[in-house]
């Protein structure tokens, strides 16, 4: 799940996702382009960090990301650059390790002239689609 190509497969409307450079151990920058119907394209640069821990037989994988305006690779015409986006996911083994609890959060401001009600409605639908895509990929 730390592979940028994975994000194109599971994240709705993500048309391009590429790893740019490292920002430390278990940290890198990702440039992404979103092409969603009815709005101008969106681009953003994320600082993506992840970790793996094990305590008392419980494995946990965590990733956190946030938009940054550092090192934006290019400014594309007719594309809105998002500067307010953050999120995380957490995979945690439960029971005897034969199940996994998955927690996903994402907060963003689409910018431009997108009304809040549209952004909120699409966020719910996109989260559901993301989970469906993730489940299909895991099978």
DSSP, res 82: P
CA distance 130 to 40: 21
Radius of gyration of the chain (CA): 16
The contacts of residue 87 (CB under 8 Å, 6+ apart) are 64, 65, 66, 104, 105, 106, 107, 108
Whether residue 108 is predicted with pLDDT greater than 90 in this model: the reply is no
- pLDDT digits 0-9 by tens, 2-29: 788 888 988 889 999 999 989 999 999 9
The pTM for the full model equals 0.81
Whether residue 50 is predicted with pLDDT greater than 90 in this model: the reply is yes
CA distance 28 to 22: 4
Whether residue 1 is predicted with pLDDT greater than 90 in this model: the reply is no
CA distance 139 to 92: 18
Whether residue 94 is predicted with pLDDT greater than 80 in this model: the reply is yes
Q: How confident is the model at residue 82 (pLDDT cuts 50, 70, 90)?
A: confident
pLDDT for residue 22: 92
Burial 41-58 (b: 16+ CB within 10 A, else e): bbbbbbbbbbeeeeeeee
Whether residue 124 is predicted with pLDDT greater than 80 in this model: the reply is no
Tell me the pLDDT of the chain averaged across its residues. Answer: 86
């Amino acid at each position: 799940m730390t592979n940028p190509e994975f994000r194109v497969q599971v994240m709705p409307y993500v048309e391009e996702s590429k790893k740019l450079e490292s920002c430390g151990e278990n940290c890198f920058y990702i440039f992404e382009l979103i092409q969603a119907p009815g709005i101008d394209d969106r681009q953003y640069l994320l600082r993506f960090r992840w970790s793996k821990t094990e305590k008392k037989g419980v494995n946990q994988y965590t990733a956190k990301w946030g938009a940054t305006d550092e090192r934006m690779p290019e400014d594309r015409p007719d594309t809105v650059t998002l500067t307010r986006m953050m999120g995380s996911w957490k995979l945690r083994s439960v029971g005897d390790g034969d199940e996994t609890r998955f927690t996903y959060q994402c907060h963003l401001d689409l910018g431009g002239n997108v009304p809040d009600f549209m952004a909120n409605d699409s966020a719910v639908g996109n989260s559901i689609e993301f989970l469906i895509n993730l489940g299909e990929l895991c099978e």
